Chains A and B, each alone.
Chain A
């Protein structure tokens, strides 16, 4: 029972505004990822959710309870930090027991020596120990309970941090770049484990990362943030295939999306790099727009015509199953990158002239201000659809 309602949250530090009125509804049991480059405000939003920072404006509810001004420990949230933030002087057992001790024992009962004489302390302590052991076993760190964090590997520390968050069964898990201190191989493994954990526990996860592959592989929905604003909130595949904003299209996807500047002619075609493109934007002739073409949207054609770009090959990168072809096209600022299936592409060498076609339905159109233009003219169609689904 913990959906999260973020309503118009703003945060400024002095004159700089880090969050500019962010609103977001997170469903109970959802895995939502806040994705954005560093400095976009995603960590600040997470810390506000946790209660570690106070918002400058707006309101926040976890479950059915407005939590503005409520201390972190009363919010029923747990957090896994990028640095893990394990207490280095405590054993794994003590680290994991701490949140339970702070909740289940009174201040008097927690006193060293004297606390143990008070009624109930021994029973509660034993119960805490049982809970810690059970959680540790479920994360296969049962054998590490007596060690201190300094004696653990990165992956083991990560598990302990997750364990400390899990042990008190919070309604919401907050994770702040938890995998970024791990090496690449371990990161992929832990990614799967966290996903699995989410499925097993069925509680709400809010996960912050700057790594799009983490966001794409783990999330139910991804919220893309930039400069303190939410640009789009949607399932991963939709974020990629149907971006709402030029900045989202540019941030997601590797190699990066190709962008061409175009001018709309009176006959409804758009001019870009000496080629005419069939567009259905519903805009007045003469307006400028950006054409976004994903690298894999190109296909090889024989000759130059409408919807076909012609240029000379600058560089060919062999990636195994795919080829990345960098193409110099007249009028474009950067070389275009096309991703072609290696088995379908003939021997392409640098310097040769190549014709690359794009099907009109695979063109992504953006207005001059970066807003996505859709054939039906409804820029917010997908967002509405998602809202119905949730």
Chain B
């Protein structure tokens, strides 16, 4: 019930300032979309107009979708992200439950390992993981893109925090009702922790959809590339300075997350800030 203490002129100043910073933030997006609907002739002409004189969007987007296997990149991205997030939850939820609610020798050691793993940046591990992938012969497959991420220390940590808030009596009741420990995880804990699961899912999907470093190492085959790697390849090999189709491809790669974000803002903010926002 705070009183709005700004006077009318400062309200106008607030909007003016935020509209200016907002516009600056949006320039790269606007420029990207603008170039993606312009014909080459207009791109190479010095002009400020957002909207092209000759609408060339169809040609550019067609080129982006056909000349590079962009649909294949997107499908790869969807498949890899889905596999990662599903496997992460399957592995992390039971471990998080054990850490949060069971008393067993070695619990503190295990939790300590989770905390240490939480600090380790994945890039540092990339060299041994690359060698491991090479040894078991899965480099340049989907499995190579997925395997380093099957266990997520952050996932275990986040779910453990959330599971701890579930009252013990709920678990006692479930045991009396005859549920196994694994049954408790999937039928009681996970449904009760759905907000945390969703937040973690968004965190994981956004991170892996956008990631370039590991895919760059793990796959060479165009047919396996996730979107960031694919679009980089597109830029290097085919498009060169042919900005129209390149911008169209960029727009298509960025669009799914932006649309998802705009339609579920609160979840995204919660997920991407790792529960720091509460």
Contact = CB atoms under 8 A, between A and B. Distances in A.
Contact present between A and B (CB < 8 A): yes
Contacts of A13: 1
A129 interface: no
Interface string B1-32: 10100000000000000000000000000000
A190 interface: no
Contacts of B1: 13, 53
Contacts of A53: 1, 3
Contacts of A54: 3
Interface in A42-60: 52-54
Nearest to A52: B3
Nearest to A53: B3
Contacts of A52: 3
B6 to A, nearest CB: 15
A53 B125 CA distance: 57
A374 B1 CA distance: 42
A52 B1 CA distance: 10
B172 to A, nearest CB: 30
Contacts of B3: 52-54
A214 B3 CA distance: 30
A146 B1 CA distance: 33
A225 B1 CA distance: 21
A268 B141 CA distance: 99
B258 to A, nearest CB: 35
A13 B1 CA distance: 9
B4 to A, nearest CB: 11
A13 B3 CA distance: 11
A70 B3 CA distance: 14
Interface string A356-367: 000000000000
A53 B1 CA distance: 9
A52 B2 CA distance: 9
Nearest to A13: B1
A371 to B, nearest CB: 33
B215 to A, nearest CB: 46
A141 to B, nearest CB: 30
A54 B4 CA distance: 11
A13 B2 CA distance: 12
A53 B3 CA distance: 7
B253 to A, nearest CB: 45
B219 to A, nearest CB: 51
A55 to B, nearest CB: 12
Interface in A1-19: 13
A184 B3 CA distance: 34
Interface string B169-212: 00000000000000000000000000000000000000000000
Nearest to A44: B1
A209 B233 CA distance: 70
A294 to B, nearest CB: 38
A45 to B, nearest CB: 14
B137 to A, nearest CB: 57
A52 B3 CA distance: 8
A44 to B, nearest CB: 9
A213 B3 CA distance: 33
A54 B3 CA distance: 9
A11 to B, nearest CB: 11
Interface string A23-56: 0000000000000000000000000000011100
B114 to A, nearest CB: 29
B140 to A, nearest CB: 55
A131 to B, nearest CB: 30
A85 to B, nearest CB: 14
B36 to A, nearest CB: 46
A52 to B, nearest CB: 8
Interface string B106-136: 0000000000000000000000000000000
Interface of B: 1, 3
Q: List the 5 closest A-B pairs by CB distance, nearest first.
A: A53-B3, A54-B3, A53-B1, A52-B3, A13-B1
5 contacts: A13-B1, A52-B3, A53-B1, A53-B3, A54-B3
